[in-house]
Amino acid sequence: MVKPLKLVKHMLNEKQIVDRIRVILPDLLKNVNPDEINNVINEYSISSDLKADLVYNVGLGKKKNWKIIVAVKSVGQPRFIRMAAYQLKSFLADKQYYYGIIAAPYISEESKKICLENNVGFVDLSGNCLIQFENIYISIEGRQNSFPDTRPLKMVFSAKSSRAIRLLLCNPRKLWYVKELSEEAGISIGQVSKLKERLFEKEFIQETTGQQRKKFYIDKPVELLSEWGKVYRYRFNRVQDYFSLEDTKTIENNLAEYCDKKNIAYAFTMTSGANLIAPYLRYNQVFCYVKGPLNELVENLKLKSVTSGANVSILTPFDDGVFDCMQNIDGKNVVSDIQLYLDLKQYKKRGEEAAEFILNERIKPRWEQNQNI
């Protein structure tokens, strides 16, 4: 029985992974035939990019022997697994009694699907696996990732990087050069290049073909926005709560009028934004991003600072990117639908419900209309 390994906070190199798979896989294959398992290291060179790190001879019956070709990848991201699966499948296409397995520190759900689509097995260092050939079927799933990626996706959603992500999601299927996106997002070319690399690893973006200078475009916007929504919190911004004797509509009108008059950057969000773009929620609290000092605005609107019972929340943005792709509705500035979805997603008062409404009724239809490049 393969026991799950303890959490490891550093990345293993390929040799270390091979050494661990050499222990894990025979233990699994003993369910097939414990007396007829042998392995040979580096017997095959499948291609310049993919070699057989381990080859097992597995006996089934008296005359039938299977060769199990194991390709080890140091990173289990979908792009690398897809490449390995395709190469394994091509290599084994004309061979009888051969079976391919991809091994990696961790095989995600997306990577599992890729293996299944290409009829290859998989095993990871946590003991998750799927091995099926002849009349053999070994499946273990649900074990926690013992080797999490040391380059977490939340790095992709840092303040500056998120400017580029927001532009990608607000401009579905637009073709971008790295330099162009860096200029529009106001971040360095190096940062966009690193961001592109990480998104490409996760297969959130794709590149155009047949060009020397390749453009790229977002290919899985729903999945990317979902990942962002998991780590984003509207309280990343500085939130100051106030009370006003006025009703919400009057507060919003007065706030917009004041900011327009004083040329102050602002944009409604949360329940205020949701109600402006698609009247959906009953709400009694105003939420608005405002850039700059608030003293004069608070005094002009006669807002009283409170610690409870607030009906006005002013958000000082953690990054000016929240204003990107802003929309104007009924003469009032509202954050982009992408930003609105993010802000609402973790809001307890029916925020997730409103976020899903915006995603399904506004964001997805626009993406679907822009599927053709």
Going by C-alpha positions, the residue among 314, 305, 302, 307 that lies closest to residue 245 is 302
Is beta strand 238-243 parallel, antiparallel or unpaired with respect to 266-268? unpaired
Any idea which residue has 């007396």 for tokens? 35
The amino acid occupying position 211 is Q
Could you give the maximum distance between any two Cα atoms of the chain, in Å? 90
Tens-of-pLDDT digits for all 373 residues of the chain?
A: 444 444 444 567 778 888 888 888 888 877 666 555 555 555 555 555 556 788 888 877 666 788 889 998 887 878 889 888 988 998 888 888 899 999 999 898 889 999 999 999 999 998 899 999 888 889 998 888 777 665 556 678 888 899 999 999 998 879 999 999 999 999 999 999 989 988 988 889 988 876 666 899 998 899 999 989 988 988 889 999 999 999 999 999 999 999 999 999 999 999 999 999 887 667 789 999 999 899 999 999 999 999 999 999 999 999 999 999 999 999 999 999 999 999 999 888 778 888 999 999 999 998 887 654 4
pLDDT of residue 5: 43
Q: How far apart are CA 157 and CA 232, in angstroms?
A: 8
CA atoms within 13 Å, Cβ hemisphere of 340: 30
Q: What is the dihedral of CA 160, 166, 171, 175, to 10 degrees?
A: 40
Spatial separation of the C-alpha atoms in residues 228 and 168, rounded to whole Å? 13
Confidence (pLDDT) at 372: 45
| pLDDT for 242 | 97
Domains of the chain: residue spans and CATH: 14-140 (3.40.1350.10), 157-231 (1.10.10.10), 234-352 (3.30.460)
In Å, how far are 202, 212, 362, 366 from 371, measured between CA atoms?
Answer: 20, 24, 15, 9
For 174, residues 6+ apart whose C-beta sits below 8 A from its C-beta are: 168, 217
CA nearest to 315, candidates 347, 283, 280: 347
Q: What is the pLDDT of residue 167?
A: 95
Return phi, psi of residue 113, to 5°: -60, -40
